[in-house]
Structure 1
Amino acid sequence: MAAADRPCPQRRGRPRSAAADRAILDATRAALVDLGWSRLTMSEVAHRAGVAKTTLYRRWAAKSELVVDAVAVLFDELELPDGGSLRADVEGVVLSFSALLRRPETKTALMAVLAESTTDEALRQRIRSAIVDRQKRLVLAGRARAQQRGELPPDSSDDGETARVVDLIFDVIAGAVVHRSLVSDRPVDRSWAHHFTTLLLEGLGAVSSPSDPLPERAAQKTGGSV
């Protein structure tokens, strides 16, 4: 067989190390808390992670991409335990989300990349794909569970309409918690989560009434249990 006819052997690079990835993302979050966005450098992250800068740049081309992925890993920890009802599920995910936002590494990283993304369309797209779109899994899981319980009607046959509903639910819940936690810097406690969920599920009329006590307070007044 002529040399030109022989198949070329495929070159294989060194397999990507999951341990190195974890070390790099951990180092990125720690460096952000210690140094802030402006002083964070790829060299500093490589040093803290104990890897070569070439290892870092093979994975992430820019600091902004690295920070997005570092915070996306934290958001992937969010779960939606079955609380037994749609109300309990919504309140649970609101409290879990706010607890995540209170962590210094999450707050610092998220606010930094959101600020940078105002002038960087590629970064906005990366935030959308790495964080926002991935976390819509919680909405999908919660809706499916509520539909099985009969608390919500089944999805329509229009996939586009279903996607719009999922987007709207995610935007309302995530937007409210982020604004309360990071913009207003106010607590997202059980009381706030309860009244927010009432607004979400029952509308403005329900939260305008003083007769919407927290479940535990109602139980105390009646002598019952939650």
Structure 2
Amino acid sequence: MPSRPPAEPTRSGRPRSAAADAAILEATRASLVDLGWSKLTMGDVATRAGVAKTTLYRRWAGKNELVVDAVAVLFDELELPNLGSLAADVQAVVLQFAALLERPETKTSLMAVVAESTRDEALRGRIRDSIVARQKRLVLRGRERAQDRGELPAEPDPAMAARTADLVFDVIAGAVVHRALVSAEPVDTDWARRFTLLLLSGLGAAAQPALTTGQKPGGSV
């Protein structure tokens, strides 16, 4: 008689509910907007979400983990459109990112968790893993599309490709966050276009649209 394959391990307790998870994360962001980081508690989130506090602790060890996940799902909404050129794709995702940062729950949640992470190394690591690393997919996808279209050369060295992707992500994320949240200046279509030109072509090319016909850099004609 053939032997049976080993049984799959089973988890005790009820399976997780996607609807409950979504309600908890939404309640977490609402609590941050209303209360701020220091006053937010797991109990307040549970009350807003309509679940028992034990339900939260079965999913998240504490407030840090819960808040990072609540922020991360917002950034997972970002998608890189396929508009036919690298410049158009970058400009579109910059505008998407800026629109996301305009939402009160995103702005408050992101600034709260980043501020708290300056005092908490474990929290910084969770932000890197749950938010930053997941969003680098946009850079990798954009580069692959540009290579397929012949806009960028192939990168034979995987380590160099990864370092380049890290740098591009840092430049885009840093510029948009600083513009939108620190300087409180608009990230509109014109700014996104000029930023994309600077990113893809360098300082010299970015200055060219400002020159009048026949004028040379430096103001001479």
Post-superposition offset of 1:32: 1.2
Count of aligned pairs = 205
Post-superposition offset of 1:212: 7.2
Question: Is residue 48 of structure 2 the alignment partner of residue 48 of structure 1?
Answer: yes
Post-superposition offset of 1:61: 1.5
Q: Percent identity?
A: 74
Post-superposition offset of 1:111: 0.2
Post-superposition offset of 1:208: 2.5
TM-score, normalising length from structure 2? Answer: 0.88
- Specify the SS of the correspondent of 1:208: helix
**1:196 aligns to what?**
195
Q: 2: distance between equivalents of 1:10 and 1:172?
A: 45
Q: Which amino acid in structure 2 is aligned with residue 142 of structure 1?
A: G
**2:163 aligns to what?**
164
Q: List runs of 5+ in structure 1 lacking aligned partners.
A: 1-8, 214-226
Map 1:34-183 to 2 at 5 A: 34-156=34-156, 158-183=157-182
Q: Which amino acid in structure 1 is aligned with residue 164 of structure 2?
A: V
User: Over the residues paired in the alignment, what is the CA RMSD in angstroms?
Assistant: 1.7
Change in Cα spacing, 1:105 to 1:11, as seen in structure 2 (3 Å) is closer
Q: 2: distance between equivalents of 1:60 and 1:185?
A: 33
**2:13 aligns to what?**
13
Change in Cα spacing, 1:59 to 1:11, as seen in structure 2 (3 Å) is closer
- Specify the SS of the correspondent of 1:78: coil
Q: 2: distance between equivalents of 1:109 and 1:211?
A: 38
Q: List runs of 5+ in structure 2 lacking aligned partners.
A: 1-8, 213-221
CA offsets 1:72-122 (integer angstroms, 9 cap, x no match): 001001011111111100100000000001100000000000000001010
Q: 1: distance between equivalents of 2:10 and 2:109?
A: 39
Q: 2: distance between equivalents of 1:200 and 1:46?
A: 44
Q: 2: distance between equivalents of 1:65 and 1:179?
A: 25
Q: 2: distance between equivalents of 1:41 and 1:182?
A: 25
Q: 2: distance between equivalents of 1:131 and 1:194?
A: 25
**2:3 aligns to what?**
none
Q: Which amino acid in structure 2 is aligned with residue 162 of structure 1?
A: A
**1:25 aligns to what?**
25
